[in-house]
Structure 1
Amino acid sequence: MSPEPKPAASTGQGWEGLNLPPEQEQAVADAAASYIASPLDTVPMPSPQLIETTYEVPVPTPHGVFGVRAWLFADGAEHITARALNDDGTPTPFTGTGTEPPAPAVRIHSECATGDIFGSYRCDCGPQLENGLRIIAQQGGWLVYTRNHEGRGIGLVNKLRAYRLQDAGLDTVDANLALGLDADMRDYTQASVILQELGAERIRLVSNNPAKVQALAELGVEVLEMIPDEVPARAENTRYLATKRDRMRHQLGPRNTHPNHPHNH
């Protein structure tokens, strides 16, 4: 019988505090040696001050036409929104909900250079982005692409450091903790500001992550329901997805964590 999964810790502790088995300690210590000389152990708090937003520009995609805008905040962070449009350029009406008035489908997608650009199989970010766009195109709403959320908020350099630790045997949570960082350092302040500027204070969230619901509620955005962002698992990301399910409480079913599930073929 497998041991009870450990919950994600709330604060980073360095790899020495993880109580690793002896056979794993050396591999993790060797991997950690590449970053100890120049740790990036702080992540700046985002500014809530919106400086500028652009006009909406139509962008044709494989999922239909989206109206794309950029958003600039006082700390230099730039984010993107993509609103589903009809062929005539009018916004796609909100459908697929019994709420009155109808609420938009919204995916807040955290930037993932490896997954979104290169199609990395280490995570499910790229397929989740594509699936989110497909759902929004069908049901109306927005994709909010948050560009300061790389690696669940730890940044690209630390994310690649965490990958090295994962290759030494740690899971995605413990790899962050070994870097002295939290398991998830994302802040949704700027995403909430954008949604409120769009008039989307009541949304249907395209996500498997209940923590997003709580974070948005604390920032004034009500999530009426969660729309599952279900993508099939692969052999390369099975452990990663199981960790998200077991330690970060993502709502993932067998299809999302078992690559040989019959619905994945």
Structure 2
Amino acid sequence: MRQAELERSADTVLPTVYGDFRAVGYHDPDLACEQIALVYGDIPTRGVLTRLHSECLTGDAFGCNRCECGEQFSAAMRAIVAEGAGVLVYLQGHEGRGIGLLAKLKAMQLQENGLDTVEANVALGLPVDARDYHIAADILHDLGIASVRLLSNNPHKLDSLRRHGISITERVPLLITPNEENLPYLQTKRERLAHILPQLDGFSTSSS
């Protein structure tokens, strides 16, 4: 149950290697953490190209090859700049599909022993995916956005945003070519988590 309203705390220019964004910072009362929306250009109220990016320290900062998160982040930023306007909401508290950094590392260790990403979370007694996107919806509402073209392969994100009052005018694929390290992970996301990943069709599933 919601305890308090989202609070906008900062709004400043953020020069990046992709272009100059507005960094709009928020205090998230539910997760007791800080959230950020990166806004590029003059965004409309409807049909805004949008990415909801779950934090992934190992992929986004360390360049880990076991997931596609860092490459998705870069691709989304480039797509937004190419569009001329858009938003990337970077969601803290979503590490490891919501189980946290240390639990994610433990799950990765179990994957080294043969479990897939779903089985590893279950073996730890944790949810397969604990994320919710109501804070992202609140941020979009605060920015005056009523509908989005969502950069995502995950139907759960679309369903969650709709439940929280954001219309989806289009799902825009964000497809990353797999490597040897992340292919089993991506195959599991497609086969067990219903992610839409047609780029995997030409790859063997023997390792998943």
Task: Identify whether the pair has TM-score above 0.5, normalized to the shorter chain.
Answer: yes
SS of 1:242's equivalent? helix
1:178 and 2:123 correspond: yes
Identical counterparts, % of pairs: 42
Residue of structure 2 equivalent to 1:108: 52
Residues 72 and 60 of structure 1, relative CA distance in 2, 3 Å threshold: same
Residues 166 and 240 of structure 1, relative CA distance in 2, 3 Å threshold: same
Return the letter of the residue paired with 1:251: I
SS of 2:196's equivalent? coil
In 1, the alpha carbon distance for the partners of 2:147 and 2:88 equals: 15
Residue of structure 1 equivalent to 2:89: 144
User: Is the Cα–Cα contact under 8 Å of residues 241 and 256 in structure 1 kept in the other structure?
Assistant: no
SS of 1:133's equivalent? helix
1:79 and 2:79 correspond: no
SS of 2:75's equivalent? helix
User: Is the Cα–Cα contact under 8 Å of residues 189 and 219 in structure 1 kept in the other structure?
Assistant: yes
User: Is the Cα–Cα contact under 8 Å of residues 6 and 27 in structure 2 kept in the other structure?
Assistant: yes
| Alignment root-mean-square deviation, CA | 1.9
Return the letter of the residue paired with 2:33: A
User: Is the Cα–Cα contact under 8 Å of residues 110 and 149 in structure 1 kept in the other structure?
Assistant: yes
In 1, the alpha carbon distance for the partners of 2:202 and 2:68 equals: 10
User: Is the Cα–Cα contact under 8 Å of residues 8 and 24 in structure 2 kept in the other structure?
Assistant: no
Residues 257 and 80 of structure 1, relative CA distance in 2, 3 Å threshold: farther
Deviation at 1:49, TM superposition (A): 2.1
Number of positions where the alignment pairs a residue of Structure 1 with one of Structure 2: 202
Structure 1: 5+ residue stretches without partners: 1-44, 86-90, 95-100, 260-265
In 1, the alpha carbon distance for the partners of 2:14 and 2:110 equals: 39
In 1, the alpha carbon distance for the partners of 2:3 and 2:28 equals: 7
User: Is the Cα–Cα contact under 8 Å of residues 46 and 189 in structure 1 kept in the other structure?
Assistant: no
Residue of structure 2 equivalent to 1:212: 157
Residues 191 and 47 of structure 1, relative CA distance in 2, 3 Å threshold: farther
After superposition, residues 237-256 of structure 1 pair within 5 angstroms as: 237-254=182-199
Deviation at 1:135, TM superposition (A): 1.0
SS of 2:58's equivalent? helix
More RCO (CA 8 Å, sep 6+):
1
Residue of structure 2 equivalent to 1:119: 63
Residue of structure 2 equivalent to 1:12: none
SS of 1:69's equivalent? strand
What does the per-residue CA deviation read over 1:233-264, in whole Å, with 9 as the maximum and x for residues that have no partner? 100100000000111111101358749xxxxx
Structure 2: 5+ residue stretches without partners: none
SS of 1:231's equivalent? coil
In 2, the alpha carbon distance for the partners of 1:46 and 1:130 equals: 32
Residue of structure 2 equivalent to 1:163: 108
In 2, the alpha carbon distance for the partners of 1:222 and 1:68 equals: 23
Residues 114 and 255 of structure 1, relative CA distance in 2, 3 Å threshold: same
Return the letter of the residue paired with 1:60: P
Q: TM-score, normalised by structure 2?
A: 0.91
In 2, the alpha carbon distance for the partners of 1:255 and 1:72 equals: 38
Residues 198 and 256 of structure 1, relative CA distance in 2, 3 Å threshold: farther
Runs (4 or more) in structure 1 with deviation over 6 Å come to none
SS of 1:161's equivalent? helix
What does the per-residue CA deviation read over 1:55-105, in whole Å, with 9 as the maximum and x for residues that have no partner? 2x22222221111111112242211110113xxxxx2x66xxxxxx75110
In 1, the alpha carbon distance for the partners of 2:118 and 2:161 equals: 22
1:69 and 2:24 correspond: yes
Return the letter of the residue paired with 2:62: F
